[in-house]
Amino acid sequence: MAKTEIKIGGFGGQGVILTGYIIGKAASIFDGKNATMTQAFGPEARGSACSAQVIVAADAILYPYVKRPQIMVIMSQEAFTKFSPQLDPNGMILIEEELVDPKGLPPTVKVFGIPATRIAEELGRKIVLNIVMAGFFTAVTGIVSKDAMRKAIESSVPKGTEGLNLLAFEKGYEYGLGKVQAQ
Amino acid sequence: MKADPKGVLTGSHYIDGDHACCEGALASGCRFVGGYPITPSTEVVERFARRAPMVEGAHFIQMEDELAASIAIQGAVWAGKKAMTVTSGPGFSLMMEHIGLAVMTETPCVFVDVQRGGPSTGLPTLPGQADMMQARWGSHGDYEIIALSPNSPQECFDLTIDAFNLSEQYRVPVMFMMDECVGHMMERVVIPPADRIEITPRRYTALPPGEYLPFKPGPDMIPEMFKAGDGYRLHITGLTHDFKGYPAMNPEVQEQLVRRLVDKIRLSEPKIRRYEEDGVEDADVVVVTYGITSRVAVEAIEAARKRGIKVGMLRLVVVWPFPEPRIFELACRGKAFVMAEMNYGQIFYEVERSVRGRAPVVLAGHGGGTVHNIDDIVKKIEEAHRCLS
């Protein structure tokens, strides 16, 4: 059975790792699939372009690293420049469209954009942009169920912020559904 | 006996191998960790330090260095706790002296080494499997230890419990040989209820003070312990010692003591051994591997099978003591071997020694920093297969 390789990139502080963690947790704990998450540890994880990598599969995951992601979630231009050459030419890329200019991609790549930071700001906290992206990801890719993602978010974000984060998730999810229907 | 529910975080968790190792330790009854944090093992002690206040009797001390950490745990053990220390290659080097002391004083404890690329400070944030011989031979003198190697966060939980149990059963320091990849990867870890976790209790004496001799072995070569403060007199030393624990530096006592320290593990190898085999019986080539490399090896084996080669796998779960009799048996049946490990040949030499010239052994090794390329292992499988014709 095929496995899906996902790479999430952005700059340190955008919640890149938490996004990967939530996707992995949703898939493995709440959707009953397998999910392996790895991340870059080192100087690159402290401020500049950093990434989280998640493999989702129904069967056991053996080789632990993402080699050719079919799905990318990119939240900064630097991360785009650094990681987008690894993307499967038949894959899809989800971008923070006000922060990322997706230039130079093969024409076969499907691009989905969302102004996640602006949506997060409208909700009152810019910090939830990664959860907006997570909602967007859920609607566009269908890799994880909406219910599993909601449970993963609720059990992963700081106490007292669950409501805001779930709202951010719903906003991203709705935006994603609109994009999918438009295509 | 069953695990103490106070240390068991029953449920499904999405955690990394380091955190899972910490939970395994707590579930197995470990109530003291002395540590000197080092990448990529830091998350083990971070979690233990955070969890300790919630688990009755659990304590963490960040010591001034690895020597202090590795001796503090032994003090805790003699005071009645189960204890471990956690490190990576550079710290493991510093702990060697006290691993020898734990062997000599038969102090049950666990040394966790989350291996990174070496030598020296090497690759702090990237994986290696090059401390495997150090785990076996790093301290001076003649001795035997037990070493385990997990290949997933789930196994980091499960096998940490086994590590503690084996250390209590054989009164020996157990080396828990993780690597950065397993330590930092996140996967689902299922922690069962406490009443489904089997724990080996410490082997305390039933004899009263006066009759009890702390280093007199029982029928299985293992002496019984007591708890400091329970009224027994005790002398513990790294010097060669008699049944009372007093220094007795002569060849007769040396022969009696050190032979027993070696034999209590060596003669129990059939009981301690643990490996997983897949398709070995009708294989022409057997890939021997352990830890994270075993997961990559499975993909290589599948690829080689598609090319028509009969390949099997023998994954070492317990690496030390090494299952030499099984390797020899397979060698006598005309199989060739590939040793896949993240170093330039360590357990490889152990396989080569075990086949006693009766089978070709090919190394699929590399220096660490990442896992193997699947194709590189496939090429070695093909090379080993060619040796047979």
Question: Can you tell me the ipTM of this complex?
Answer: 0.96
Our count of domains for chain A comes to 1
Q: Give dist(CA A52, CA A7) in Å, integer.
A: 6
**First CA to last CA distance, chain A:** 27
Residue of A nearest to B186 (CA): A37
B374 contacts A63? CB cut-off 8 A: yes
Q: B276-388, which class in CATH?
A: alpha beta
Nearest CA in chain A to B372: A63
Cis peptide before B119 (omega within 30 of 0): yes
pLDDT tens-digit readout, B104-130: 999 999 999 999 999 999 999 999 999
Query: Looking at residue A67, what DSSP letter applies?
Result: S
Range of the domain at A21: 4-182
State yes or no: pLDDT of A13 exceeds 90.
Answer: no
Low-confidence stretches of chain B (pLDDT < 70) are none
CA–CA gap between residue A156 and residue A117 (Å, rounded) = 20
Predicted pLDDT at A48: 73
pLDDT tens profile A135-180: 999 999 999 999 999 999 999 999 999 999 999 999 999 999 999 9
Q: Name the strand (E) or helix (H) holding B160.
A: helix B153-170
Q: Which chain A residues contact residue B12 at CB under 8 A?
A: 29
Tell me if A38 and B185 make a contact (CB, 8 A cut-off): yes
Whether A28 has its CB under 8 Å from any CB of chain B: the answer is yes
Q: Which residue from A minimizes the CA distance to B182? A: A64
pLDDT reported for residue A1: 46
Query: Is A41 touching B (CB cutoff 8 A)?
Result: yes
Residues 6+ apart with CB under 8 A from B115: B88, B89, B127, B128, B129, B130, B131, B177, B178, B179, B180, B368
- Domain segments of chain B as ranges: 5-196, 276-388
B241 DSSP 8-state letter = B
What residues have CB less than 8 Å from A100, skipping those under 6 apart? A74, A75, A76, A77, A79, A80, A113
Beta bridge partners of A36: A55
Q: Hey, do B5-196 and B276-388 end up sharing a CATH topology, with the first three levels equal?
A: yes
B299 contacts in A (CB within 8 Å)? 62-63
Question: Is there a contact between B371 and A65 if contact means CB atoms under 8 Å apart?
Answer: yes
Q: Do A63 and B371 touch (CB under 8 A)?
A: yes
**Chain A residues within an 8 Å CB radius of B378:** none
Give B277-289 pLDDT, tens digit per residue: 999 999 999 999 9
In the predicted structure, residue A45 carries a pLDDT above the cut 60: no
Among A46, A50, A55, A62, which would you mutate to test the B interface (most chain B Cβ atoms within 10 Å of its Cβ)? A62
Q: Are strands B109-117 and A4-11 parallel, antiparallel or unpaired?
A: unpaired
Instruction: From chain B, pick out residues whose CB is under 8 angstroms from the CB of A37.
Output: 14, 185-187
Q: Could you tell me how many residues make up chain A? A: 183
- Which CATH number belongs to the domain containing residue A162 in this structure? 3.40.920.10
The pLDDT assigned to A180 comes to 93
CATH of span B5-196: 3.40.50.970
